Amino acid sequence: MTFHAKITGYADPALHAAGLYIGGKWRKGDGIAVMNPSTGDKLAEVADASVEDAMRAVDAAEAAASGWRATPARQRSEILRRWFQLMTQHAEELATLIALENGKALPDARGEVAYAAEFFRWYAEEAVRVPGEYRHTPSGSHHILVDHEPIGIAVLITPWNFPAAMATRKIGPALAAGCTVILKPASETPLTAYAMARLGEEAGVPPGVVNVLTTSKPGAVTNAMLADPRVRKLSFTGSTGVGRTLLAEAAKSVVSCSMELGGNAPFLVFDDADLEAALDGAMIAKMRNAGEACTAANRFYVQAGIHGAFVAGLTARMAALKVGPGYDPATQCGPMITTNAVRKIDRLVTDAIALGARVTTGGKPLAENGYFYPPTVLENVPTDAAIAREEIFGPVAPVYRFESEEDAIRLANDTEYGLAAYIYSQDLKRAMRVGRQLETGMLGINRGLMSDPAAPFGGVKQSGLGREGGVTGILEFMEAKYYAVDY
């Protein structure tokens, strides 16, 4: 008997496979198989939404919009707070569900649930603190009053790698701002989204304020919603390629867009770094969710004087990780999301080896029933290898040597992406000096983890538009209205 067949209660995949959630009602259906990447077995089957279903979701969001917009901020805040509390109460069950459908190791899944819940608590607090402005014009002839209003119906598109956190990071500020939403989770990991919707019901979210639909036709369904003039916001997390397509589609209706796209994060280690601290940070930055994260360290640039010791230390730590099913409490590195993900990683590693890279641990797909690739370290990686340009999205750490500070900056910026970067140095002046020259939206200095609901999350260049989280996150779902006032 497989592990997931023994699940009962809230973590049971079958409980969340009823169907679409539109207007506070569950619509039964099937058509999309949800697989367990740890075994290759089918977990459940969920409804496959049509364009007509998407339009019903827009109708439901519109029907709920005026009432939710008029709901006092304190009341919206209390609903989000209750949602946070319910996620906390059901944390272990949600983590198990994530481990089953996503494959991430249980410690990572527990961390995601805690992180995800915090977005509801943070925006419960921000809901009652929306800023405004009142001042005189420079001429003194009249007054300037600036208010912020909900932008309107928002379409939220989330990826499979953080099925809980990417949903709450969008739903939290949207609801706090007074918007109604349609959430389209990734078809690989829809069960967590439906579980969250059930908790939202229990928290008191009115029907139609949050709608959830899964589809195997994301292009047609999304395009239909963006073409509807009632939809005024698109918030997307995913690849840069898909983001570009969505931006072009949204432009046809001048829909406001927030885009959190791909990354190619450099991890810079200078000779004066604390080696053990740098290795600790490297393991976090690389191996969170087995490397399937947009902020994952993708390129390790290590200064010549510490390079050998760093490679040896990273190799030892990566080789010691236990690979296994995500739901196994002993697992430290779970499977990749699909067989295609394994093939991509293998292609990048094989190319790097052919160009002269040396494998110090790992380097070949594992012969398992699930979708496994082992923790891998590569050294002497040529900077023209494909792995230096493409987002790996897996447990592979390519290490490059650099000599000078100027070389490190040049190499780090040699990418179209600019989401996250990391610097390890005990010289804070150097770290800040280098940091100011890195083309990135977020920077970790002597830290391997930078995500925090209270901080603005987002990138520059081809890594996106706008920011999620922090005090600015709620403003992504609001419009500033200026009143010119005389009295």
The per-residue pLDDT for range 375-386, each reduced to its tens digit, is 999 999 999 999
pLDDT over 50 at 1, yes or no: no
H or E element that contains 219:
helix 218-227
Q: Residue 8 pLDDT > 80, yes or no?
A: no
Query: Position of tokens 């239909």?
Result: 224
Report the phi/psi class of residue 435: left, alpha or beta, with left for phi > 0 and alpha for psi in -120 to 50.
Answer: alpha
Q: Does the pLDDT at position 117 exceed 80?
A: yes
Give percent above pLDDT 70 in the chain: 98
With cut-offs at 50, 70 and 90, classify the pLDDT of residue 15. confident
CA–CA separation, 81 vs 112, rounded Å?
18
Report helix, strand or coil for 473. Answer: helix
Query: Alpha-carbon distance 164 to 24, whole Å?
Result: 20
pLDDT at position 430: 98
Q: Please determine, for residue 5, whether its predicted confidence score (pLDDT) is greater than 50.
A: no
The per-residue pLDDT for 7 is 57
- For the segment 404-441, what is each residue's pLDDT rounded down to a tens digit? 999 999 999 999 999 999 999 999 999 999 999 999 99
Distance, in Å, from the CA atom of 389 to the CA atom of 417, rounded to the nearest integer, reads 9
The predicted structure's pLDDT at residue 341: 97
The residue from 118, 249, 260, 292 that is catalytic is 260
Given the residues 118, 126, 249, 294, select the one marked as catalytic. 294
Can you give the pLDDT at residue 6?
52
Higher pLDDT, 101 or 5: 101
Distance CA 463, CA 477 (A): 20
Q: What is the pLDDT of residue 4?
A: 46
What contacts 5, CB < 8 A, 6 or more positions away? none
Q: What is the pLDDT of residue 2?
A: 44
Q: Flag the least confident range among 128-132, 226-230, 280-284.
A: 128-132
Q: What is the mean pLDDT of residues 81-100?
A: 97
Cα dihedral sign, 242-243-245-250: positive
Q: What is the mean pLDDT of the chain?
A: 95
- For every residue of 56-83, DSSP letters joined together read HHHHHHHHHHHHHHHS-HHHHHHHHHHH
Q: Which amino acid is at 306?
A: I
442-476: per-residue pLDDT in tens?
Answer: 999 999 999 999 999 999 999 999 999 999 999 99
More confident residue, 466 or 369: 466
What HEC string does 275-287 produce? HHHHHHHHHHHHH
d(CA 326, CA 343): 20
Mean pLDDT along residues 29-34: 88
Helix 165-177 to helix 106-126 angle (10° resolution) is 10
Query: For this structure, is 257 an active site residue?
Result: no
pTM value?
0.96
Give 299's strand partners. 266
- Does 143 have pLDDT greater than 70? yes
179 is catalytic: no
pLDDT for res 487: 80
pLDDT in the model for residue 367: 85
